[in-house]
Amino acid sequence: MLALCVSFLVGLLVARLHVWLPGWFVILLGILAVSLLKHSIFHLGLLILFGLSLGIWRGAGYLQALAPYQEFALQKVTLQAKVSLDAVYGNKGQLSFEVKKVHITSPRAVNVPGTIKVSGYGEFAVYRGDIVEVTGKLYPTRGGKQATMSYAQVKRIGSEQTWVDNFRRNFVAGMQTALPEPAASFGLGLVIGQRNTLPYAIAQAFLMVGLTHIIAVSGYNLTILVNAARRLFEKRSKFVMVACAAGLITFFLLITGASASIVRAAVVSGLGLAAWYYGRPVRPLVLILLAAALTTYATPTYFWSDIGWWLSILAFFGILVIAPQITARLFKKRSAPMLAQVAIETLCAELMTIPLVMFIFGQVSLIGLLANVLIALFIPLAMLLSFIAGMAGMLVPLLAGWFAWPAKILLTYMLDTAVMLSRVPHVFKTNAYLSAADMVLCYGLVLLLLYGLYRKRHAWYEKLQPNMTDKVY
C-alpha cells in the first residue's frame, strides 16, 4: 500500500509535465497487479508501475478538464454554479463567496472542475446551496482556487439548499444570539471553521501568534477532537468510542460542507478507527499517504499547488507519527494526561509546518509555541462549550445566556491571551524566508530526531523486557 500511494503521487507530479498515458494501459496494469498477488520483487515493481501510470493518467485528464480556465483567461464569461460558502461583504461593498460545480455558458458551454472565488454586486445576500449566475472577467489563479472573478454581476437563479445548510445557518444565528462578538465569531471558527466574520484585528492577532490553524477548516480541530474522544472512551467501551468518534467526523463533514481539509482528516481518522476497532495494526504513515492519494485523486491540484493541503499533511505527520514517539519517551509505560497529549500533538504539528510557512510566506511567529501551549490546550473544551452555546441560542434563545456563560469565559480568555501575546514587540517576523535547501535541511533534522526517538524508545523497551519477565515468572 505504501509503494502504491507513493508511486501514485509521483505519477501526479510527472503528469504536471504534460505526460500522457492511454486509459487501457492503466486498466491492464491494474488487472495484472490484482491477479498476481504474490509477495515478490516482480509484484512490487508491478504495483509501483501501476501507481505511477494511474497518477499520470489521472493528472493528465484533470489538466485537460482545467484547460478552459486558460482558454477564457481575462475574458468576460457567464457561468452558473453552486455557492459553497456563505457570502460576506468584502472590499468596496462587494459580496464575496465561493462557488463549485461550475458550468460556463458563455463564450461556450463547458463544465469545469474546481472552485472559483467570486466578488461582485447584484444580490443583497447569497448562501451556501444557492444556484447563482455570475457574469464577469475570469482570472486564473493557483492554489486551492482555480480562478477568481471581481466586480462581477451576481444573480440568484435557484437553490439546492439541504437541511444541513439550514442547520448551519440557524446554528450561526444561534451562536450570535448566545455570545457577544468577537467570542461568537471565534466560537464559529472553532466549531465549523467559519472565520469570515471574525474582526480583522483578531484575525491578525491569531496570525502573529501562530494560531490561525485553530480557526480555519484545516482538519486540525477535528483530529484533536477525535483523539480526545478516543482517549476518554477507549478504556470504557470500544464500540462507544468508535461510535462517538464517527459521529464527530460525520458532523464535521456535514457542517463544514465536506471541505478538502476536513475530508483529509476524516479519511485519516476513519481509517485509523476502523483498523483499531478490528484489531489491525495502525501504521500512521500509511494512513497519511493513503489519505493523500485519495484526496489528490479526486482533486490533483491539491498536490500541485495547494499550500493548505501540504500544511495539513505535514500537521498530520507531526500529530500521528512524531507525537506518539515523544509521548512514549516522556511517559514510558504510563498513559499521558489528555492535556499533555494535546500539548505534544499541537507542538509537533507546529514543528512540521513552520519550515514550509517560512519558505512560502516568509513569516514566522517567535511566540507560536508558547501561544499554542497557553491556548491550543483548551481547544477540545472550547469546541464543546461553543457547540452547547450555539445549540442553546438556536433552541432556547431566551435562556441562551445561561448555557453560554462557560463558553464566554473560556473564549474570552483565549481571545485576550492571543491579543496580549500579539502586542509583545518583535514576536512576528515577516521577511524570514527560508531557501529550498534550508527547508529540506530542517525537515531532514526532524526526521533524524524522529529516528533517534524511535531507536531510544525501542532500546529502552528491550532493556526493560528481561526485568519484566523475571517479575512475572
pLDDT in tens, 316-375: 888 888 888 888 888 776 777 767 777 788 788 888 888 888 888 888 888 877 887 788
Are 98 and 48 members of one domain? no
User: Following DSSP, what letter does each residue of 355-374 receive, concatenated?
Assistant: HHHHHHH--EETTHHHHHHH
44, 65, 86 - which closes a domain: 65
Domain-embedded: residue 472: no
pLDDT for the residue numbered 89: 79
Residue 245 CA to residue 383 CA, distance in Å, equals 14
Q: What percent of the chain has pLDDT over 90?
A: 11
Together in a domain, 77 and 60: no
Best-predicted range by mean pLDDT (154-168, 308-322, 408-422): 408-422
Q: What is the pLDDT of residues 385-431, one digit of tens each?
A: 888 898 899 888 888 888 899 999 999 999 999 889 888 888 888 88
Question: Is residue 463, in this structure, part of any structural domain at all?
Answer: no
Distance CA 223, CA 265 (A): 6
* Lowest-pLDDT range of 75-79, 162-166, 174-178: 162-166
Identify whether residues 83 and 108 lie together within a single domain. yes
Residue 282 counted as domain residue: yes
Nearest to 312 by CA among 265, 253, 357: 265
Query: Are 108 and 249 in a shared domain?
Result: no
Q: Does 300 lie in the same domain as 220?
A: yes
> Average pLDDT, stretch 1-24?
80
Structural domain boundaries, residue 29: 2-65
Q: Answer with the one of 161, 180, 208 that is the final residue of a domain.
A: 161
Same domain, 37 and 82: no
| Best mean pLDDT range from 137-146, 217-226, 379-388, 438-447 | 438-447
Nearest partner of 179 among 378, 393, 410, 417, judged by Cα: 393
Do 91 and 227 fall within a single domain?
no
Give the mean pLDDT of 37-59: 79
Q: Are residues 150 and 178 in the same domain?
A: no
Element (H, E) at 39: none
Residue 407 near residue 384, CB atoms below 8 Å? no
Quote the pLDDT of residue 35: 65
Q: From 21, 38, 65, give the residue that closes a domain.
A: 65
**Quick one: 192 and 148 in the same domain?**
no
Q: Has residue 415 been placed in a domain?
A: yes
CATH of residue 90's domain is 2.40.50.140
In a domain, 334, yes or no: yes
Each residue's pLDDT tens digit, 230-241? 777 766 777 777
pLDDT at 408: 92
Average pLDDT score, the chain: 80
Asked if residue 468 belongs to a domain, the reply is no
The number of folded domains in the chain is: 3
pTM passes above 0.85: no
Residue 344: which residues within 8 A CB-CB, separation 6 or more?
A: 323, 326, 327, 330, 336
Q: Which residues pair with 139 in a beta bridge?
A: 148
In a domain, 470, yes or no: no
- Flag whether 48 is in a domain: yes
The reported pLDDT for the residue numbered 322 is: 87
Q: Are residues 390 and 307 in the same domain?
A: yes
153 and 12 both lie in a single domain: no
Q: Are residues 204 and 104 in the same domain?
A: no
